[in-house]
Amino acid sequence: MVVGRTHIPVVNKEICQTCSVCLRKCPAEFLPDLRYDEETTRGYLYKNSELLEKEKLPPCEDACPVGQKVREYAHLIYEGKLKDAVSVIRQDNPLPAVLGYVCHHPCEKACLRGSWDDPVSIRELKRYAISYEMDHIDEIFDILKMRKAPSIRKKVAIIGAGPAGLACSFELAINGVDVTIFDSLPAPGGMLRVGIPSFRLPREIIDHDVEMITKLGVKIEKGVIFGKDLLFDDLKKDRFDALIFAIGTHKSVLLDIPGEDNTENYIDCLTFLRKVNLGENVELFGNVIVVGGGNAAIDASRVAIRLGAKDVVVLYRRRKEDMPADELEIKAAEREGVKFRFQVIPTEILKENGRLKGLKCVATRFKEGEKGRKAKLYTYGEPFIIDADFLIPAIGQRSELSFMKKEAISDKETILLEEDGIVKGYNEAIFAAGDGVIGPSTVAQAVASGKEIAAKVVNYLKRK
């Protein structure tokens, strides 16, 4: 209900209701003529969006990898009920503080409001709600304790404390499982801690989500390398009922071009970011070239700027709109002085006395009639040289799977799983989750994988 003068409306919040157009529950669903009045929100949406073709609604929730009840918690925040909003967020999201900063927010891309205006800032709303949790930890933890199931007297070991391993541990703990995580790094977080710069993901945010997990009873053993400090036999002796590999993708994919071996001032992206994030001294100067188009490439370029590089140029083989990196991160890099060159592929690393001198490159074109990331490219024109003092390739990541049976590894160098989540070729209760299974992905997708495997492990343990 609206009262007051026409140009200064006053909304009575007590009786005002959400329109529910994104659920196809507004009057236009039953009175089709209302769909054609483009001066109204509903009319515009019915004509200019894919609302009628959507099977799962609302679109924002369907797009969320972890299944967040977006409309519900957003409305609770609007009503000022932050504790209730956090409770709803925590039902589905084991790492809400982290995802409040680095989620790729597909929910916002799916938000129908974005078809005529800006989408609802869903990620920032989550971050706002979790700031309440961080100031009221005990209050929110009391909610989690009430949800935690009684112990089922089963023990599970997780290898890897990255987003998938942490998410998996949270879900298992909530379901009454005794969980121990073993991780090779000096602090939990995996690529959250050593791959993402602190200016994008503050370390206290990671620490908060980890604290909520350990308060549930999850134990984390740091600095433990599987295959060296910890073996399969050690886990059997400790009588774990299941083992989950959440090892991530910590090895860089290299350029595979001439001159790549033994080149001074050449450092792969993941090694570069790991050294910086762990506080090691990394010196850059002059012209720095980063090759790649994902978030890791953007992160590396922004870190290079902060380390004092004179010029930082990102080379990408396709167009700007084809880059898989988050659009907001690309804009941030541009504001900070990072330059971009598109439709360029390096073909050879040039060096002098073993030291990087430059990159020989060629231009690319799309096959006629094709565009986008899946379109075929071909090179054209004469090769050209870009001078460089440092080179950081960031074209992909992969897992270290040398400890796995051959039948458990796919052609894409990922871990193969049976339908019940058990690693292919193993008769024992050995599961896997995260990027090691699904390939390099976003943090939200890794969290979703961890949740999915946790549910399968719980089912297995209860059957057993």
**Same domain (yes/no): 327, 389:** yes
In this structure, is residue 437 part of a structural domain? yes
End of a domain among 396, 413, 441?
396
Domain count for the chain: 3
In this structure, is residue 145 part of a structural domain? no
**Same domain (yes/no): 49, 122:** yes
Question: What is the rounded CA–CA span in Å between residue 294 and residue 62?
Answer: 24
Q: Is 451 helix (H, G, I), strand (E, B) or coil?
A: helix
In this structure, is residue 3 part of a structural domain? no
> Which CATH number covers residue 450?
3.50.50.60
Token pair for residue 322?
A: 């084809």
In this structure, is residue 346 part of a structural domain? yes
Token pair for residue 417?
A: 């799983």
**Best CA proximity match to 341, nearest among 373, 316, 305:** 316
In this structure, is residue 2 part of a structural domain? no
Give exposure, 351-381, as e/b (b: 16+ Cβ within 10 Å): beeeebbbbbbbbbebeeeeeeeeeeeeeee
Is residue 346 within 8 A of residue 360, CB to CB? The reply is yes
Task: Give tens-digit pLDDT for 179-202.
Answer: 999 999 999 999 999 999 999 999
In this structure, is residue 7 part of a structural domain? no
Question: What is the rounded CA–CA span in Å between residue 31 and residue 27?
Answer: 6
**Same domain (yes/no): 173, 58:** no
**Same domain (yes/no): 65, 126:** yes
Helix (H) or strand (E) holding 45: helix 41-48
Task: Give tens-digit pLDDT for 18-55.
Answer: 667 777 777 666 677 766 766 777 777 777 777 777 77
pLDDT at 12: 53
**Same domain (yes/no): 350, 261:** yes
**Same domain (yes/no): 371, 260:** yes
pLDDT at 11: 47
Question: What is the rounded CA–CA span in Å between residue 100 and residue 107?
Answer: 12
**Same domain (yes/no): 32, 157:** no
pTM, entire model: 0.91
pLDDT at 413: 93
pLDDT at 7: 44
**Same domain (yes/no): 55, 133:** yes
pLDDT at 50: 77
Token pair for residue 175?
A: 């379901």
Could you say which residues of the chain have pLDDT below 70? 1-19, 27-30, 34-35, 37-38
Question: What is the rounded CA–CA span in Å between residue 273 and residue 199?
Answer: 13
Range of the domain at 67: 19-140
Neighbour order of strands in the sheet with 178-182: 219-221, 178-182, 155-159, 242-245, 430-432
**Same domain (yes/no): 129, 213:** no
pLDDT at 9: 46
**Same domain (yes/no): 196, 263:** no
In this structure, is residue 4 part of a structural domain? no
Q: Is 442 helix (H, G, I), strand (E, B) or coil?
A: coil
**Same domain (yes/no): 442, 374:** no
End of a domain among 396, 415, 446?
396
pLDDT at 28: 64
Q: How many percent of the chain have pLDDT more than 90?
A: 78
**Same domain (yes/no): 40, 132:** yes
In this structure, is residue 453 part of a structural domain? yes
Residues 6 or more apart from 441 whose CB is under 8 A from it? Answer: 435, 449
pLDDT at 18: 65
End of a domain among 117, 140, 163?
140
